Amino acid sequence: MRKRTNPDQKLNRIWEVLQEKEKTQAWLAGQLDIEFRTVNRYVNNHRQPNLRTLFEIARILKINPKELLNS
């Protein structure tokens, strides 16, 4: 059974970083070669990317992976 993320708890900052970089979810989905709805789930914290994907997102956005995580 897949464990769901608490909707009130924001574990990642992907949405904020995309806004800072003036990039869209569709753009990120294209860069990652994954479906838009998967990126949308990451952005809305309904699902969390695995570590490999998190590091790939950071590489694409040219930031440290730590910047994608809330402390």
From CA 42, how far away is CA 70, in angstroms rounded?
13
- Identify residue 3 by its one-letter amino acid code: K
Which of 52, 53, 67 minimizes the C-alpha distance to 17? 67
End-to-end CA distance of the chain: 26
pTM of the model: 0.86
In this prediction, residue 7 has a pLDDT band, given cuts at 50, 70 and 90, of low
Pick the CATH number of 14-65 from 3.30.56.10, 2.40.30.170, 3.40.50.150, 1.10.260.40: 1.10.260.40
The contacts of residue 44 (CB under 8 Å, 6+ apart) are 15
Contact in structure between 68 and 20 (CB atoms under 8 Å): no
> pLDDT for 16-71, tens place per residue?
999 999 999 999 999 999 999 999 999 999 999 999 999 999 999 999 999 999 98
